[in-house]
Amino acid sequence: MENLNDVKNKKDKDVKDVKKKSLPKRERVSFRDYLSGVKTEIKKVVWPTRKELGSFTFVVVVACTFFSLLFAAVDHGAVTALRGLLGIDI
């Protein structure tokens, strides 16, 4: 039967073994190869249509407006509550 110190030492050893393992080194590529890879990945991107872009922009503007009004209302309420409770002017 293992005692508590043996279990703790075993866990510490397991953690040290994991830390010792190093990741394999990546092969260095030239800047030209890097740009070639970027170009390849850009070709895989599915770009939105003009109509989709317009609708996405509309959703973002509406969401930003909603949250800005919500935060302004919460801020105004907090300031009003502080003025009422503490009698201070901020």
**Rounded distance between C-alpha atoms, residue 75 and residue 67, angstroms:** 12
Residue 71 forms part of a structural domain: yes
Residue 17 forms part of a structural domain: no
Residue labelled with tokens 């302004």: 72
What is the average per-residue pLDDT within 26-48? Answer: 93
**Rounded distance between C-alpha atoms, residue 58 and residue 48, angstroms:** 14
Question: Which pLDDT belongs to residue 5?
Answer: 61
38-77 confidence digits (pLDDT tens): 999 999 999 999 999 999 999 999 999 999 999 999 999 9
pTM over 0.75: no
Residue 28 forms part of a structural domain: no
42-67 core/surface letters (b: 16 or more CB in 10 A; e: else) = eeeeeeeeeeeeeeeeeeeeeeeeee
Q: Could you tell me where the DSSP H helices lie in the chain?
A: 4-20, 31-44, 50-86
Domain that holds residue 74: 47-90
Residue 81 forms part of a structural domain: yes
Residue 75 forms part of a structural domain: yes
Number of domains in the chain: 1
Residue 74 forms part of a structural domain: yes
75-86 confidence digits (pLDDT tens): 999 999 989 998
What is the average per-residue pLDDT within 32-39? Answer: 95
Residue 62 forms part of a structural domain: yes
Residue 55 forms part of a structural domain: yes
Question: Which pLDDT belongs to residue 2?
Answer: 57
Tokens standing for 24?
A: 């394999």
Question: Which pLDDT belongs to residue 89?
Answer: 72
